[in-house]
Every structure is written in structure tokens, then in C-alpha cells.
Amino acid sequence: MEPPFPPFEPDDDKAHRHPKLTEIPLRTLFPNILTLLAICSGLTSIRFAIENRIEFALGAIVLAAFLDGIDGRVARFLKSTTRFGAQMDSLADFVNFGVAPVMLIYFNMLSELRPFGWVAALVYAMCACLRLARFNVQLDGPGKPDFHTDFFVGIPAPAAAMIVLLPIYLILLGVEKSSAFSIVVSLYVIFVGLLMVSNLPTYSGKTLSKRIPRSIAIPMILAVVIFIAILLSYPWQTLAAASLLYLAALPWGRSYFLKVEAREAEKTAATREQAMDKSAKKPKNGSAKRASPTKSASKGSSTKSSQN
């Protein structure tokens, strides 16, 4: 009798290479459970948005972002990264950062702009979908220079979700709703969506998370603790300030990318010139072989002249 559910195969290629392997480690399931919890948190945020419980909706999105941030690290720590988990993580990002934030904005500010407000929400959600699909394709693409790992192409979906909620932070800080404000918000939502699918390089800082100097370990711990304390004490002010700082840092990220790209291009050009110089100085086998008969002929002529 066949089981009611198909077997869990996180990596098909491994299953084909080891057909006799009928059991999987329990640690393989834990990151996927975290991803499913993140999806549940994002869907719960949509429910709170419909019920006009803005604070709970924001809290659910922040929780989803936290779970999304740790599931990949937990998978790498447990050595249980799989293609199944990567695909499910992309689906979770679309729900949590492509649908939930814009639904919160729509039900609270854009619903009164019936046609245009909904179009703005659709544009943002579709941009998030395209951005995640492009990200998955680039993972399987050809190798890129090492410095590209420090940059995203366009702003990532979690960052877009945090900054697109800036109008919600302002509403919670006391900004009054109005038709003009809703129109500005709809344009802002479209703008953030276009940033996701743009070619704008944004600094990721992935390599900074691998190793840090010992001298800054304690200051970094203190900075993280202070930031969390400020976030818990002044959540909306902190999130609004962080969103504005992120937007202000986008031009800096682009200029830094161009500087690094120019520096790497100079290194590549210098390496090619050195390789060309070495190849030019190295004697060719054909020329050496052609030179040998000439030498022997000159030796023969000198011998004859001495005999004469």
C-alpha cells in the first residue's frame, strides 16, 4: 500500500545518486519549518490589515522578516541547505514582502483611490515577483567577479518591504490621512516597486558577516543591543529613520559599486599586460628551430675559410 503523501526529496539529484537512502536527517526539516512559520506570519499580517489592526500587522511583518533572515543561516549552520528550501524561501519572500506590506498600505490608505490605488498595489506586487524570479535565475547563471557578491541588483525584497511601509510609520507618528497624501503614497509604492526590478547596485555587505576584526567585536555587540533597545522603545520613529537612511544611502551604494568596478577593471588590465609581456619575452620553439640551421651554416663556412 502506497503512503498517503509522497516522499520528501529536498534534492532530486541526491535521491537519484542514493536510491537506497530512505531516511533523511531531522535537521533538514528545521529550516523549512522556519520558512513555513514566516509564511504564516505574513498571511496573519494580511488578516490584521483587513481588521485595521495596524500595529499587529506591522509586528507580523517584522516577525516574518526575522524568520526569513535566520532560516537560511540556520540551514547553512546545520548543513541542510537544499533546492527545495531555496524555492520555498522565494515563495515566502513573495508573500511576506511582496503581498503583505502592500495589502497593509492598500487597506489603510489606497483603498479610497479605488482604481489607481489598486493598480499601485499590483505594480509593487508584480515587481516583487519579477525581482525574486530574476534573483533565482542569477543564482544558476555563469560565474561573476567576486566583488559582485557584495552587491544586489536592485533593492532586495525584505528591504523594499521595510521602506515601502514608511507611510504607515508616519501615520502611526501622527501624520493625518488625506487624498493628497494617498496619491503621494501610491506614487511612492510604485517607485519602490521599480527600485526592486531596476539595475541599481545596492550594497549587501554579505562578506562583512563572515569575519570581523577582534577590535570591533565588543562595539558591534553594544551597537546591536542599543539598536534593539531603541527599536523596542521607539519602534515607529526607529523604523521611519532607518527607511529614510536606506533611501539616502542608495546613491552611495551605486558610487561605491562604480569605484570597485573601476578598481577591478584596472587590476584585470594590469594582469593581462603582465601576461602579454611574459609571452612576448618567452622565445618561440619555431624561431629557435629556424635559427639552428643558420648557426650550423655559419660554423661550416668558418671552417672552410680556415682550411683555405
- Nearest CA to 73 out of 131, 42, 30 is that of 30
Output the pLDDT for position 194. Answer: 93
Instruction: Look at residues 150, 108, 116 and name the one whose alpha carbon lies nearest to residue 257.
Output: 150
> How many CB atoms lie under 10 A from the CB of residue 257?
18
Per-residue pLDDT of 167-220, as tens digits, reads 999 999 988 888 889 999 999 999 999 999 988 888 776 655 566 777 888 888
Closest CA to 65 of 109, 29, 101: 101
Mean pLDDT of 255-274: 79
Q: What rounded mean pLDDT belongs to the chain?
A: 80
Mean pLDDT of 227-249: 91
Rounded Cα distance between 159 and 204, Å, is 11
Burial 99-124 (b: 16+ CB within 10 A, else e): bbbbbbbbbbbbeebeeebeebbebb
With cut-offs at 50, 70 and 90, classify the pLDDT of residue 71.
Answer: confident
Q: Give CA separation, 19 vs 12, 15, 28, 85, 134, in Å.
A: 10, 6, 18, 21, 33
**What are the tens digits of pLDDT across the range 11-39?**
655 555 554 445 667 777 888 888 899 99
Roughly how many angstroms between the first and final C-alpha of the chain, as a whole number?
107
| Assigned C-alpha cell, 200 | 541599481
Consecutive H or E run containing 151: strand 151-153
- Please, are residues 260 and 267 in contact by the beta-carbon 8 Å criterion? no
Burial of 2 (0-12, 13-18, 19+ CB in 10 A): exposed
Kindly state the percentage of the chain with pLDDT values over 90. Answer: 32
Query: What is the residue type of 52?
Result: N
Please say if the pLDDT value at position 164 is more than 50: yes
Contacts of 108 (CB under 8 A, 6+ apart): 49, 52, 54, 168, 171
Domains of the chain: 23-271 (1.20.120.1760)
Distance CA 122, CA 193 (A): 10
| Contact partners, residue 132, CB within 8 Å, separation at least 6 | 90, 93, 94, 98, 157
- The per-residue b/e assignment along 206-230, b for 16 or more CB within 10 angstroms, e otherwise, is eeeeeeeeeeeeeeeeeeeeeeeee
Residue position matching grid coordinates 534534492: 11
pLDDT surpassing 90 at residue 140? no
pLDDT band with cut points at 50, 70 and 90 for residue 263: confident
Name the 3-class secondary structure at 18: coil
